[in-house]
Amino acid sequence: MPNELFRTVAARRSSAGHRLGAVPLSVALHAAVLVAVVVIPLIATDVLPAPQFPFVLELPAMPAVVLPSVPAPRPPRAVFASSGSLAAPVVPPSGIGQEKGLATVPSIPDLKSEDVGNIVGSVGQPIRELEPPSPPPPPKPAGPVPVGGKILPPRKIHNQVPVYPPMALAARVEGTVIIEAVISTTGTVQEARVVTSVPLLDEAALAAVRQWVFTPTLLNGVPVPVIMTVKVEFMLR
């Protein structure tokens, strides 16, 4: 029994020693193969193997460029002048002379400042200075113009005394009636209405005012109708 154990241990030791000896041999073998495959081809650079498949770059063919044809210039045509007198000359003139067949215009002498406005024309009549056009007349007003400011009240040239009404006399009524009157372009009273009333005296005041006559009122030299207020007083004596 002890002999068998000794043999087993000895066999194991011999197997382990065999394995330890095979490792360096394997490393040396792999190094030799690596040197033969990689290092030797790198050192031998003088001989390079020819490529089996050469690379050829093929470019597509460029299309042909067609240039447009340019027409040849035409030769100048001969110009024949007509025999008329108004035809343009073909040969350039040698100099500039006086034109014929044209009416001569008399030259204007030098003018002085005092002669301006008395220029004598070709027909012998003096030419007057141009005057600026007169401004258009102002438009006429559409209706009666109230008196005031530049519009002066018209002057009364015919008066009519009002008739005292009998009822107002019997009642001894006095007062002042204020009337708004429209004076026409001829000076007559066109319209009249009571502004301040005295009941028993209004009609008598209107009848008297309608017979009054005034001077026409002018606006920019044109007669215009005006509107104004007048007073009619009634007093008992």
Q: Name the DSSP class of 175.
A: E
Query: Where do we find the tokens 């002048």?
Result: 81
Q: Which residue has the higher pLDDT, 158 or 15?
A: 158
- Percent of the chain clearing pLDDT 90 (strictly above): 33
Nearest to 150 by CA among 198, 86, 220: 220
> What share of the chain has pLDDT > 70, as a percent?
57
Confidence grade of residue 122 (pLDDT, cut at 50, 70, 90)? very low
What would the 3-class secondary structure string for 100-134 be? CCCCCCCCCCCCCHHHCCCEECCCCCEECCCCCCC
For residue range 58-108, what is the model confidence (pLDDT) as tens digits?
666 667 767 777 777 777 665 555 555 566 666 777 777 776 665 555 565
Residue 230: its H or E element: strand 226-234
pLDDT of 55 > 70? The answer is: no
Domains and CATH numbers, the chain: 145-234 (3.30.2420.10)
Evaluate the CA torsion angle 203, 204, 207, 212 in order and state its sign.
negative
State pTM to two decimals: 0.43
Tens of pLDDT, residues 161-182: 999 999 999 999 999 999 999 9
Q: Can you give the pLDDT at residue 190?
A: 93
| Residues 214-231, mean pLDDT to the nearest whole number | 92
The amino acid at residue 195 is V
pLDDT at position 25:
77
